[in-house]
Structure 1
Amino acid sequence: MRVGIVCPYSFDVAGGVQFHVRDLAGWLLREGHAVSVLAPADEDTVLPPYVVSAGRAVPVKYNGSVARLNFGPVTAARVGRWLEDGAFDVVHIHEPITPSIGTLALWQAECPIVATFHSSQVRSRAMQTVYPAFRPSLEKILGRIAVSEDARRTVTTHYGGDAVVIPNGVYVDRFAAAPVRPAWQGSPERPTIAFLGRLQEPRKGLPLLLEALPAITRAVPGVRLLVAGPGDQEAVRAAVPDGCSVELLGAVSDDDKAALFRSADLYVAPNTGGESFGIILVEAMAAGAPVLASDIPAFVRVLDGGRAGATFANESSGSLAEAAVALLADPARRAELSRLGQDRARQFDWSVVADQVLAVYETVLLGAPAKPRGAVSRRLEGLGRSLTQGLGDSLGRGARRS
């Protein structure tokens, strides 16, 4: 099968959607399928051989975060060439209504289309403005996937139709086999807590964790917080409360991330919202880290209702501190959460998830009407030109403001 996968977010910056696209493409390639991924990327970005750059992205505030997106007439032409050259049996677009290359592919593709919706959100004002123009193209999607019930609810509420829930995937064995790093490994007297996320993104919850850290330190004087992720480390260092031990690791590789999870006594996910799934929890569980997470709905579902990991009241530093102290004082409970978490993570292994995605491809191909391959229809070309110009101007203004 010839599969084209479209990632709306830039491969320059690590993120859940990018990891999902990369890992799905790798699994399909190993299974013998021909795969090409189209994604924004800067010229100097080192890309896997199966990734085609759609050009440089610009930072835009989107869904409570800053996403690096790519849009406009020049990008539309690149998308069109990629579709023509690929002659795909199916095109799989991630986040098709994000104003990036996914919408351009949706307008132009003539082969069967599958879409995965990752986000859990209400529509933004910008999306409400342009949604009427998107509606005809959304009807081209023959297979809809949502990574969680929260994402599925977004689809059914705001975009019409339904979606099958297929979660994000993780190569569980890679995390389970990661080595323990002595420098990150704790001891009964000096346990380690790990955090991983974009440092300056408030919804990832680092400020909340730092707020809870003095109470944790008073109860467990030797505790160390290991903070990994891209961002301004000096700003974080300036925010560390007096008397608390925090080590800033910066952005980490996949191998280092797995080793961090394997080595820490406790992984804390203090995210405050805007999450539709929680792939980071699955990765931590796969590595055997006992997980403590905020009780936002997406995280509670990943943790099997709280059975595979502990939770605390969202946005409550006191609840976070109380739960962390209790777990650090209870090695048996942490060992139990580690075992239950690893069992739970197996349900999200790519060997399970990718088979479900492939089944959607096959179902879509069986039900798709036969269409001759050829140039993009004039109607969609005209629609694409007008909308890319308008949205491109809007994105440019947003990028200048951010």
Structure 2
Amino acid sequence: MSLSLEAPARTGHPRRDHIREGGPGGRSLRIAIVVPYDVDREGGVKRHAVHLARTLRGGGDEVTLVGPSSGGQPGPGVRGFGGVVNVPANGAANYLGLFTSPLAVRRFFRAAAFDVVHVHEPLVPMLPHYALWFSPRAAHVCTFHMYTEDEPAAWRAVRTTLGRLLLPRFERGIAVSRPAAAYAAATWRGPLSVIPNGVPTGTFRPPEDGEEDGSGRPLRVLFVGNWRDPRKGLPYLLEAHSRLRAKGLAVEVDVVGEGPSPVPEQPGVSFHGAIASEAALAERYRHCDLFVAPATGQESFGIVLLEAMASGRPVVCSDIAGYREVADREGARLVPPGDAEALAGAIAALAGQPERRRRMGAANRRRAEAYDWASLVSRVRDEYVAAVAARAGAAPTALARSIAAG
């Protein structure tokens, strides 16, 4: 199934025609959203970029998502480039366009004439670098997603050098969280706005009354993530599950996401692989009783937490910096990372308390509504307007006044 920027039928993003102003001559902006990771594989940065692009398009801007592609040419609104290879780093598999043809990228950007080129993870090679070099007339905005507590010295040296070479070319910078901003501060010297990841709350929504009654069956726990990555912590959840079953607690675990083959065989655990559509993923969230995210660290944010929260699900997650940005103790139980016993205890404590789980889920839904993309997109677009103004040599405040005046 090829990636497309055509929005699903139910996105929760009303059309916002008031964001059309701001491009040259008062027209809508022509925007390239560039990601360094394979657009044909699931990942947090890709998910962020897709939803941002769809929401901007829904408001009238002309948006193209640009990224490496291992699955052939993607669908409408997406421009893929080949040369994808896996580069393991930061506890994760990273499918990057290291061998993307610079000539092909150059031809594309010269023909497209974008007003704004928004680069995600600007220091990750190679497509973000090519996009920056081959769009000299565009305004440039970057978003930092990365965070790590244990940076190898070699990457620190590379990051510092790339930062000196590339980052001064950007007019504006964004970080998705305070941990990501702190990590970026080592190389970024300009203003840096913290604008979090978002979630389409119309797609990820609580079950409707009577949609499902979980009484009379085992507690259904959901894990979502690329579990071949050690930092996602799935082994700790599987160990916690074994402990709970040994104590006679009826718990089933659904694992959604890519992983190695063959899958582990464990009674009460089902592996579903990657889900083909966002609607099907949202249904998985709605039909679970408890969402568990046992990541060990290196997470700047928790998009899967947001999806579970928007779905009205209670959360058990690791007490790590990126997850503390999203979850609070009203709707989540935070446990030490890498501690299967603590994880089992948190799950057991909620297993027999359906009313408490319901209250936690309702609190999470209220909290998630502040992260709806329809609310966040104007903040991102303000960065575009400021970048265009800076590129043109105009004062952003004057440009803002002209936009407000219509």
TM range (shorter): 0.7 to 0.9
Residues 110-150 of structure 1 show CA distances to partners (whole Å, capped at 9, x for unaligned) of: 12100000011265414513642541321011110000001
Aligned pair count reads 362
The reply to whether residue 56 of structure 1 matches residue 79 of structure 2 is no
What is the CA RMSD across the aligned residues, in angstroms?
Answer: 2.2
Residues 337-393 of structure 1 show CA distances to partners (whole Å, capped at 9, x for unaligned) of: 10000001001100111111011111111222359xxxxxxxxxxxxxxxxxxxxxx
| Candidates 76, 89, 112, aligned match of 2:139 | 112
Q: Aligned-pair distance for 1:206?
A: 0.6
Paired position in structure 2 for 1:196: 224
Q: Which amino acid aligns with 1:302?
A: V
Question: Is 2:221–2:254's contact at 8 Å kept on the other side of the alignment?
Answer: yes
Residues 194-252 of structure 1 show CA distances to partners (whole Å, capped at 9, x for unaligned) of: 11111221111110111111222234532111111112252322xx3xxx411121211
| Candidates 195, 201, 213, aligned match of 1:172 | 201
Question: Is 1:59–1:68's contact at 8 Å kept on the other side of the alignment?
Answer: yes
- For the residue of structure 2 that corresponds to 1:368, the secondary structure is helix
Question: Is 2:110–2:134's contact at 8 Å kept on the other side of the alignment?
Answer: no
Identify the range of structure 1 (47-56 vs 129-138) with the bigger mean alpha-carbon deviation: 129-138
The reply to whether residue 143 of structure 1 matches residue 167 of structure 2 is no
In structure 1, runs of 5+ residues without a counterpart are 372-402
- Mark the CA change 1:198 to 1:348 in structure 2 (over 3 Å): closer, same or farther: same
In structure 2, runs of 5+ residues without a counterpart are 1-28, 395-406
Structure 1 CA distance, aligned partners of 2:239 and 2:72?
38
Paired position in structure 2 for 1:398: none
Residues 3-402 of structure 1 correspond to what in structure 2 (within 5 A)?
3-44=31-72, 47-72=74-99, 75-110=101-136, 111-121=138-148, 123-124=151-152, 125-126=154-155, 128-129=157-158, 131-176=160-205, 186-237=214-265, 240=266, 244-252=267-275, 253-304=277-328, 306-369=329-392
- Mark the CA change 1:259 to 1:16 in structure 2 (over 3 Å): closer, same or farther: same
Between structures 1 and 2, the one with greater helix share = 1
Structure 1 CA distance, aligned partners of 2:56 and 2:389?
19
- Mark the CA change 1:126 to 1:298 in structure 2 (over 3 Å): closer, same or farther: closer
Question: Is 1:295–1:313's contact at 8 Å kept on the other side of the alignment?
Answer: yes
Paired position in structure 2 for 1:386: none
Question: Is 2:241–2:251's contact at 8 Å kept on the other side of the alignment?
Answer: no
Question: Is 1:90–1:365's contact at 8 Å kept on the other side of the alignment?
Answer: yes
- Mark the CA change 1:136 to 1:250 in structure 2 (over 3 Å): closer, same or farther: closer
Q: Which amino acid aligns with 1:285?
A: M
Paired position in structure 1 for 2:25: none
Identity of paired residues, percent?
33
Question: Is 2:83–2:101's contact at 8 Å kept on the other side of the alignment?
Answer: no
Structure 2 CA distance, aligned partners of 1:247 and 1:294?
22
Q: Aligned-pair distance for 1:326?
A: 0.2
- Mark the CA change 1:331 to 1:219 in structure 2 (over 3 Å): closer, same or farther: farther
Normalising by structure 2, we get a TM-score of 0.84
Q: Which amino acid aligns with 1:171?
A: P
Question: Is 1:261–1:284's contact at 8 Å kept on the other side of the alignment?
Answer: yes
- For the residue of structure 1 that corresponds to 2:198, the secondary structure is coil
- Mark the CA change 1:309 to 1:133 in structure 2 (over 3 Å): closer, same or farther: closer
Question: Is 1:69–1:100's contact at 8 Å kept on the other side of the alignment?
Answer: yes
Structure 2 CA distance, aligned partners of 1:60 and 1:16?
17
Q: Aligned-pair distance for 1:152?
A: 0.3
- Mark the CA change 1:246 to 1:53 in structure 2 (over 3 Å): closer, same or farther: same
- Mark the CA change 1:192 to 1:43 in structure 2 (over 3 Å): closer, same or farther: closer
Q: Which amino acid aligns with 1:66?
A: A
Structure 1 CA distance, aligned partners of 2:331 and 2:49?
26
- Mark the CA change 1:261 to 1:233 in structure 2 (over 3 Å): closer, same or farther: farther
- For the residue of structure 1 that corresponds to 2:171, the secondary structure is strand
Normalising by structure 1, we get a TM-score of 0.85
Structure 2 CA distance, aligned partners of 1:194 and 1:51?
31
